[in-house]
Structure 1
């Protein structure tokens, strides 16, 4: 009888252990991401049970880690005095809903990639620098974001168009500058917005139609008139700015009045007219004159519009005839440098001849065009002869763009030393830009293709590029910077045994060493 009880005990124990093993094994991608985060936080002693290798976060109850099944859904480590960076694998937490590392000493720039399905992001009271990453614009489920009391700078960034679930946004006590982005008007669920103690400028017009209950814009450089819709916000703090006093100016003549907001609690009085002591009876005659002027303006505008339309049609017909006369295929030379850049190149010719480089025209690699539909010209894409790198690869090679890896800094951004696992060392130019909006994919690909084929004794060949949207600079800045570098750079040292490396020095005493 005792033997039977003993066998039953062993049986139930084995079932329990197998059940526990099945339900506590953490997803491998979450385990790897936690290990990278642990290493980036300098293996902090406060992170009990955490391990840099192996381990089961869900089964071993790593501090601050919450799981649902095998997925990590929450990382909450506030006010622990942890020092380090956020690493480069946060985007691997595909099931993570809450990330709270506030009240620590997290430093360096914001990583470009963040957990895509977050609902709550709390990184307040740290030492984060740089600007807000573009990847936040893709967090469609984000409900709460607090980035206050950091060292974030530049423009806020036009990244809020898709964040319709966001209810609380705190960007206070940073170094943001420039105007508020227009995409803030898309925050249809926002109730709390704090941006006090920054260096923001411009007006508050983008906030006028939001359902705010708590708004703090104190101690900035805002100016103009406060929209009347904001005056009805229950908690509205706006001191320490340069707002205009008195009522807002009347609209321009013959302009229809603005539409009334849906949540307007008070009726605005009719606009005042500045006509001295005119009697009320004169308002009727004034109204008649205004109506007559409106009719006259509409008539003239209609006539002008018809004339303009006829001219446009004639121009299009004439252009269509010219297009039909052109052959089916043709070749054109590379585009001409804009006049603005040409003027800068002319000014540089004043430099003594010892530092002027005689630039030769690159090989004539013509672009081919074909006639598309409706007589339009369609460019045939040229192949890209250089390598592409992911943001994660560049962050690994530059230690998350650490301050220790900076080897130079120019007018468009910093240059970082990148050490790749295969032993290759390269210089990565990270161009600073808050609103990373590239209009067309083909523009970026074509520019990279052209630059990858550029060969000149004073120009380092392009060794690679990053095709991910949040890492691309505006192409106009790239082209202008490349032309200025071609005109101003002079070779001060060249390795005799390795043609793949050059050191360049510009008149601004910026030196770069690159290899490919």
Structure 2
């Protein structure tokens, strides 16, 4: 019995070991892709192109902690090819060493996001230093020496306060050193020799360097005095200026010596008494400002427009799995450079609306903020197929909430009317679209009621719900939710590079969600419903950056206007309103996808004549891989999967064809975008064929 008992426990122990050693699926998938990209080398014993257990089976060069891969050391193995495009999934990798191999091409747009040490030296990498390094806040050592890297360094070093060693030597890097070098507060070793850097090296004076090599570049100016006491410094082979360095410009303070203590600095700078006087003055000024602000706040009305006080609309970007976790995401959004675009109605939390004495709209399902898989999406449509009566507002109520439609409450002016912010005393906010009365005068008294009836029947996760309406004293008003994040147009065109949270996966999700909304209008509604005004300004984004299409059900009003859409969105056949068809909507949606891909507006008169029309400029290049890479929105900083980019461009090319009959129906566009997601998720997670038939929410 004892041997049997011992054998039983040995079996249980073996099972426990095998379970605990099972490697995390994202790590396995990333290593599978890497193995294939490295041309399946025989040197990597144990590695597989699909599946496997790197931690349990001891793959060559792989070390783990529990079920997570923590170290990849494949140095000096004669490896060829590339490292694959799923390195961002290796979130537990601390050490990443691929040095002394024969790898070529660009360094992948993403590297293990939480790496502490990265060594890619001694390969044949071309292109530039990947911008994603800027988000690796834990990085301590970076070695990219002895490659063929070129171009200028981006200003990407502001977050790398833990970096102690950086070796960029023996490449072809050029341009001035970025000012963010000055943020490398822990850097002790810096090798820049044998490149083509130009300009001064003054920015290095603030870094606590002990070992610096800048030989054989094209640096100019003077070597800062602060660098001359470095233990090891090499500066030969540059174009340094001769003679004594000029004094600092008037009004500037010299950089203190790196090894001087604070008391020495006080002796050579301001006295303690002077510093105390300055601090006292600042304190008094702050007290005065606070008193003034308090007085202003207490006297303001409860209609105070807090969003107008600051255009920096905070939100939480939905970061895709292309990027690492949130602490490595680019800086938080800065102030928008312009006010809201036209036709940008936006929304608030519907739960708070229930407490308003004026209306009691039905709140949407709480799970709408999450991306939906195919079965959930079908169920959602089934649950929301019935019509919901919109609340009737009084004109007096809306006038009070909008300050009598004051100019200061104007959000934008669109094709059929103006949009205003309606803010209530308890803080609730709505968007009110005031229909141009001239559009309804010749249509008869029942036309507005017909429009309300049609809009009220539209229920879809990606279509803005009608909250209520009002028709009094010649005023015809539609009331919608208010989306604080604003429109897609704003994110793409009115914000600076650092306030764009739209990662590649987020853009694909916006395209897919909008496509589903249009598919619902075209192929699920009976009779079919044309939109006639699809554009980025009519796509608003909720708190999770899910898209919501505005102005659905207003096509009959557009029929009465002289212009259907904004310039650049019109399909070639739309020479008059009556010529508009469902395929014209498809074209307009294709233009929106082009905006997502390029970051450009549909029509830009400031560009050269051949580039003013986005469709005319982009269409011939959508199937050219090299040209396509140059078209991508610079705001993405190269963070996108090349294959996904190419497939997305293929969908765009189909939609913006000049002949309507060749454009696909929206159901095919949706299927194409779903397949794009499925292919990416299969590559990323190694899912089997059955899993590939469902939407992979994790891709987003």
Coarse TM-score class (shorter-chain normalised): 0.5 to 0.7
- Change in CA separation of 1:113 and 1:382 when aligned onto 2, cut-off 3 Å: same
Partner of 2:387: none
* Partner residue in 2 for 1:203: 200
Who is 2:45 aligned against? Answer: 48
Conserved in 2, the CA contact under 8 Å of 1:129 and 1:151?
yes
How far, CA to CA, are the matches of 1:211 and 1:385 in structure 2?
42
In 2: Cα distance, 1:93 partner to 1:177 partner: 31
Once the two structures are TM-superposed, the CA of residue 16 in structure 1 deviates from its matched residue by 2.9
**Cα gap change, 1:451/1:464 in structure 2, threshold over 3 Å: closer, same or farther?**
farther
CA RMSD of aligned residues (A): 4.8
Matching of residue 485 in structure 1 with residue 485 in structure 2: no
Contact 1:490/1:504 (8 A) holds in 2 = no
Partner of 2:569: 454
When residues 183 and 472 of structure 1 are mapped into structure 2, their CA distance, relative to the original with a 3 A threshold, is farther
For residue 49 of structure 1, report the CA deviation from its aligned partner.
0.7
Note the C-alpha offset of 1:250: 2.5
Contact 2:144 2:167 in 1 (8 A): yes
Residues 327/31 of structure 1: CA separation in 2 closer, same or farther (3 Å cut): closer
Deviation at 1:384, TM superposition (A): 6.1
Offset at 1:198?
A: 1.3
C-alpha change, 1:6 and 1:173, in structure 2 (3 Å) is: same
**Once the 2 structures are TM-superposed, how far is the Cα of residue 244 of structure 1 from its aligned partner?**
0.6
Q: What is the 5 A alignment of 1:65-464?
A: 65-252=62-249, 255=251, 258-264=254-260, 327-328=407-408, 381-382=486-487, 391=504, 454-455=569-570, 457=572, 461-462=590-591, 464=593
Secondary structure of 2:9's match? helix
Q: Contact 1:106 / 1:128 at 8 angstroms: preserved in 2?
A: yes
Relative distance call for 1:481 and 1:139 in structure 2 (3 A) is farther
Distance 1:100 1:367, change over 3 A: farther
* Alignment CA distance shift 1:382-1:118 (3 Å): closer
2:21 to 20, 24, 43: 24
CA deviations over 1:168-188 (Å, ceiling 9, x no partner): 001111121111011111111
- Deviations 1:309-360 (Å, cap 9, x if unpaired)? xxxxxxxxxxxxxxx99845669889xxxxxxxxxxxxxxxxxxxxxxxxxx
- Alpha-carbon distance in 1 for matches of 2:504, 2:615: 31
Per-residue deviation, residues 245-290 of structure 1 (Å, max 9, x unmatched): 221113456x46525324159x99xxxxxxxxxxxxxxxxxxxxxx
C-alpha change, 1:57 and 1:225, in structure 2 (3 Å) is: same
What is the deviation of 1:393?
Answer: 10
**Inter-partner Cα distance in structure 1 for 2:605 and 2:80:** 40
Q: In the alignment, is residue 58 of structure 1 matched against residue 55 of structure 2?
A: yes
Q: Describe the superposition over 1:399-426 as per-residue Cα deviations: whole angstroms up to 9, x where unpaired.
A: xxxxxxxxxxxxxxxxxxxxxxxxxxxx
Instruction: Output the CA distance in 1 between the equivalents of 2:488 and 2:245.
Output: 56
1:348-403: per-residue Cα shift (whole Å, max 9, x none)? xxxxxxxxxxxxxxxx699867699xxxxx999445699999647999xxxxxxxx
C-alpha contact 1:463 1:515 (8 A) present in aligned 2: no
Distance of aligned partners of 1:21 and 1:257 in 2 relative to their CA distance in 1, 3 Å threshold? closer
Partner SS, residue 142 of structure 2: strand
CA distance in 2, matches of 1:158, 1:96: 25
Give me the whole-angstrom Cα distance separating, in 1, the residues matched to 2:42 and 2:612: 53
> Residues 452 and 463 of structure 1 are in contact (CA less than 8 Å); yes or no, is this contact kept in structure 2?
no
Q: Given that residues 27 and 69 in structure 2 are in contact (C-alpha distance below 8 angstroms), is that contact kept between their aligned partners in structure 1?
A: yes
Task: Confirm or deny: 8 A CA contact 1:171 1:194 kept in the other structure.
Answer: yes
Q: CA deviation at 1:90?
A: 0.6
Please give the per-residue CA displacement for 1:78-105, whole angstroms capped at 9, x wherever unaligned: 0111111121111111111011111112
Cα separation, partners in 2 of 1:455 and 1:262, compared to 1, 3 Å: same
Residues 371, 263 of structure 1: CA spacing in aligned structure 2 closer, same or farther, 3 A cutoff? Answer: farther
Contact 1:389 1:465 (8 Å CA) reproduced: no
**Secondary structure at 2:149 match in 1:** strand
Which whole-Å CA distance do the structure 2 matches of 1:331 and 1:13 have between them? 71
Counterparts of 2:19 and 2:621 in 1: how far apart (Å)? 59
**Structure 1 residues 489 and 244, CA, compared in 2 at 3 Å: closer, same or farther?**
same
Task: Give per-residue Cα distances to partners, 1:45-72, cap 9 Å, x unaligned.
Answer: 1111101122111111100000111110
For residues 175 and 98 of structure 1, what CA distance do their matches in structure 2 show? 26
The gaps in structure 1 that reach 5 residues or longer are: 269-323, 335-363, 373-377, 396-444, 493-500
CA distance in 1, matches of 2:162, 2:53: 33
After superposition, the Cα gap between the structure-2 partners of 1:382 and 1:74, relative to the gap in structure 1 and judged at 3 Å, is closer
Contact kept in structure 2, 1:44 and 1:82, CA below 8 Å: yes
C-alpha distance in 2 between matches for 1:389 and 1:452: 24
The structural deviation recorded for 1:152 is 1.7
Q: Distance in 2 between matches of 1:244 and 1:47?
A: 52
Shift of 1:17: 1.0
Change (3 A) 1:503 1:93: closer
Report the 3-state secondary structure (helix = DSSP H, G, I; strand = E; otherwise coil) of the residue aligned with 2:206.
coil
The structure with the greater share of residues assigned to strand is 1
Post-superposition CA distance 1:129-160 (Å, at most 9, x none): 22222221111111100011122222111111
Contact 2:117–2:139, Cα closer than 8 Å, also in 1: yes
Question: Following the alignment from structure 1 to structure 2, what is the Cα–Cα distance between the partners of residues 205 and 86?
Answer: 36
User: Within 1, Cα distance between the matches of 2:421 and 2:608?
Assistant: 28
Structure 2: gaps (5+ residues): 266-403, 424-481, 493-500, 509-545, 551-564, 574-586, 629-648, 656-700
16-25 or 211-220, which deviates more: 16-25
Question: Going by fraction, where is helix more abundant, 1 or 2?
Answer: 2
1:402 aligned partner: none
Aligned-pair CA distance for 1:488? 8.9
